[in-house]
A and B are shown apart, each in its own frame.
Chain A
Amino acid sequence: MAGWNFPEDLKYAKTDEWFRVEGDIVTIGISDYAQDQLSDVVFVELPEVGRQLDAGEAFGVVESVKSTSDLYTAVAGEVVEVNSALEDKPELVNESPYGEGWFIKIKASDLSALESLMDSTAYAEYCNGRE
């Protein structure tokens, strides 16, 4: 256990994204575990605002010097906002994965897909199991 932080109010996917629900708006980022595994994030590629995403669709890429990972959304919907601060400061993903390091906000068309995701306890176990 490397002391990762997994806030209880979020849902987590096996591909290490977190989802925060506020009404029908879902914010997506990557977990503390994921940013730790990636190490220094050097680049984030995000979609255009207005793009329609299907559940399970890749919407972007996060890159460190040693690896690169696709970003997936578990919920379908329209991209309503992207975190443009990451363009100049990709390190925000490392420094504040649940705060300033968020990626996109989606206006979800159906929230039910979130029910199959992990809560923080299950996700912590999942991460420990991968170590």
Chain B
Amino acid sequence: MPQPDVPTTDIPSELLRDELPLPEVSEIEVVRHFTRLSQLNNAIDTHFYPLGSCTMKYNPKINEAMARLDGFANIHPLQATDTVQGALALMYRLQEWLREIAGFAATSLQPAAGAQGEFAGILMIRKYHIEQGDEKRTKILVPNSAHGTNPATTTMAGLEVIEIGAGPDGEVDLAVLKAVCDEHRDTIAGMMMTIPSTLGVFEDDLLEIIETVHSVGGLMYMDGANMNALLGIAKPGEMGIDVMHYNLHKTFSTPHGGGGPGSGPVCCSEKLAPYLPGPIVTIVEPASDEHEAPLYGWQMPEKSIGRLKAFHGNFGMHVRAYAYILAYGNQLDQVARHAVLNANYLRVQLHDTYNSPYDRLCGHEFVVEGRWKDVPDVHALDISKRLIDYGIHPPTNYFPLIVPEALLIEPTETETKATLDHFVSVMKKIAEEARTNPQLLHEAPHHAPVKRVDEVRAARQLVLCCQPLPAESTSDGVSASSEPEVVA
């Protein structure tokens, strides 16, 4: 950092902090530290990552380059709209494309992640009912196979969860649903559903479920986490869904970033459009002979639930998703077709080795049980940890909760047949090891940067922050550091 190029002004000492307990290290040390840390990770760029419900597809490099263009990275969110027409045009088109892909009337790009998109959707449903004079509608139906975010969202929105049990096929039990709808009729605000379901299947009774909820005045929320199976295959809005969110960091390949940032745009039908979180981008002046491009501006939807975050959503993620949609365009259905092809291929290949509780055509993912009757001590967790030794990131463990020892496997469309075949052979090998040398599984991983970690110790003896070094040892500005040393 340079010396000041202006006359300095005294800073009153009573405002100043005594010390700043931050590390002081040379640039090369910082580079090596974080480069080494990165090497301790599994990632899509280094490993097959069949993590169910997370859609770990390849993240195209061009998207990263586009998000870093000067014209997108270096604009201030509060600049006058006539100075950011490129950004607004991009957001407007993305709103339109997302609406079109799922068959809805309108989109808001505000939500920062899927969970925030869900939250928006449920707040919209609630506000809609209030505006209709239907204040008593406070209950949201949630299948017991749902992502945990669904019931948590409902509580967070100040509403009440009614859990709907699954039938023997793992699907929403229509008879149970009808009974619940009968019992609670005019207090039902809506229902949350994941399509395809968290088990990776298209529910047989889908249209009847939607109709049942609508018949008692409830609205349908769709958790769009699994849209990778639906792109160009079916439009939720046309099937009767009233509002849904996307995960741009799943379906549209914006990277997961080791836990975020995500982006969770929410789309809805005509009647819910006035309730969208805002502001959203609108056309202020259509294109004309004088102006080849329309003039874009901000608009707060008329009865908006309000603003969900400062500024306009995770714009950098919008840029990446925009680039991704440009690459596939009107052939976006190829994504879903091949994602579903890959999942079904794995499903049949693993069929004889791992028990599938719901053995039928699947969507973009499927669930197997990570357990065998003849080796009761081997668990899904052991199989997962052993996969690490073979250079494969484990599938999602223990979700959905309704399947014992669940392994939820989602290969995505970007994996080659050779990778899938390798995965199958490894899974079969592990099944064999479970019988011949179960200890290999129990003690796995053997070839990872660390062995299994002690989660009990982490929770009982909480260490959430390293202690700053005493002032005298950091005052010389050399390399006394409060950073932990690298684990390797």
Which A residues have a C-beta under 8 Å from some C-beta of B? 40, 42-43, 63, 65, 90-91
A-chain residues with CB within 8 Å of residue B458 when the two chains form the complex: 65
Query: Taking the nearest CB of chain A, how far is it from the CB of B73, in angstroms?
Result: 40
What 0/1 readout, one digit per residue, does chain B (444-458) give for beta carbons within 8 Å of chain A?
000000000001101
Query: Taking the nearest CB of chain B, how far is it from the CB of A81, in angstroms?
Result: 23
B175 within 8 A of A: no
- Would you list which residues of chain B between 410 and 459 have a CB under 8 Å from chain A? 455-456, 458-459
Interface size bucket, B side?
under 10
Query: Taking the nearest CB of chain B, how far is it from the CB of A88, in angstroms?
Result: 9
Residue in B closest to A42 when the chains form the complex, CB atoms: B459
B460 within 8 A of A: yes
Residue in B closest to A90 when the chains form the complex, CB atoms: B460
Task: List, sorted by A's number, 13 A–B pairs whose CB atoms are closer than 8 Å.
Answer: A40-B456, A42-B456, A42-B459, A42-B460, A43-B459, A43-B460, A63-B459, A65-B455, A65-B456, A65-B458, A65-B459, A90-B460, A91-B460
Q: From DSSP, what is the main secondary structure of chain A's interface residues? A: loop
Which B residues have a C-beta under 8 Å from some C-beta of A? 455-456, 458-460
Bound together, the chains give a CA A90 to CA B462 distance in angstroms of: 13
Query: Taking the nearest CB of chain B, how far is it from the CB of A100, in angstroms?
Result: 16
B-chain residues with CB within 8 Å of residue A63 when the two chains form the complex: 459
Query: Taking the nearest CB of chain A, how far is it from the CB of B219, in angstroms?
Result: 30
Bound together, the chains give a CA A99 to CA B459 distance in angstroms of: 23
Bound together, the chains give a CA A91 to CA B459 distance in angstroms of: 12
Bound together, the chains give a CA A90 to CA B460 distance in angstroms of: 8
Bound together, the chains give a CA A42 to CA B459 distance in angstroms of: 6
A-chain residues with CB within 8 Å of residue B460 when the two chains form the complex: 42-43, 90-91
Q: Give the 4 A-B CB pairs with smallest separation, nearest first.
A: A42-B459, A40-B456, A65-B455, A42-B460
Query: Taking the nearest CB of chain A, how far is it from the CB of B148, in angstroms?
Result: 12
Q: Other than the known A43-B460, A63-B459, A65-B458, what 10 A-B pairs have Cβ atoms closer than 8 Å?
A: A40-B456, A42-B456, A42-B459, A42-B460, A43-B459, A65-B455, A65-B456, A65-B459, A90-B460, A91-B460
Residue in B closest to A63 when the chains form the complex, CB atoms: B459
